[in-house]
Structure 1
């Protein structure tokens, strides 16, 4: 069940089972201006509290290098864990291979299946709550 839906710019945010969900409009082009706004909106929604986030990129047509670099540098605040949802297993494999080299500062995984992404986030949440 969607709770507190917020739609701004090219993205929609809502909560489901204490997980922050987001989805872009179809054929979104993410440039530096758009990604700055997305990060700003997500941080406002977080209200200083860390979130478990399902970041759905399936409708993103293109993301510029500047946008990726900015998100990598400034988009990590107020997050416990991130599951990214992509369109294909090939994209998932490439992204996850990159993450093995990059070593993200929080649990971060890429999925081609939304249910698996949600299950992973919930498992991370349960494990973190045990600590």
Structure 2
């Protein structure tokens, strides 16, 4: 992985774009269209989220937009369902079609994380829910 400036507002990875939104309250991730996430991508995503949080000195309320995803390898799905970076306090998964909904449900059902995770089809509802989670936890 190439050296990155984790203090930036936006970071482009091979698999997705990760950026701070809503006055830095939410770290948003948008998987690139028709991308199949590999285990290396999953590790890079988690590492980027953790490092961006450390660079800001704040917890992460994560909006993962997986509406355009093509799929994920078994290893990548296991990685995402096993744990989240410790800085992540809540996750909203934004889904649309059958593939993203299936992956989202898989991640929620197999998640071992002790954080709130929920599926959404509406971006604004997902953001409202994350902001509500943030206010509950402060």
Return the TM-score normalized by structure 2: 0.78
The answer to which structure has the higher strand fraction is 1
List gaps (5 residues or longer) in structure 2.
Answer: 1-7
- 2:137 counterpart residue number: 128
Moved over 6 A (4+): none
Q: How big is each residue's C-alpha offset from its partner over 1:25-72, in whole Å with a ceiling of 9 and x where there is no partner?
A: 111111111111111111111116321010111121011121111122
RMSD, aligned CA: 2.6
List gaps (5 residues or longer) in structure 1.
Answer: none
Q: What pairs up with 1:1-20 in 2 under 5 angstroms?
A: 4-17=9-22, 18-20=25-27
Report if the CA contact (8 A) 2:84-2:113 is conserved.
no
Return the TM-score normalized by structure 1: 0.81
Counterpart CA distance in 2 for 1:52 and 1:30 is 21
- 1:40 counterpart residue number: 47
SS of residue in 1 equivalent to 2:67? coil
1:118 correspondence with 2:127: yes
Kindly tell me the number of residue pairs found equivalent between the two proteins. Answer: 127
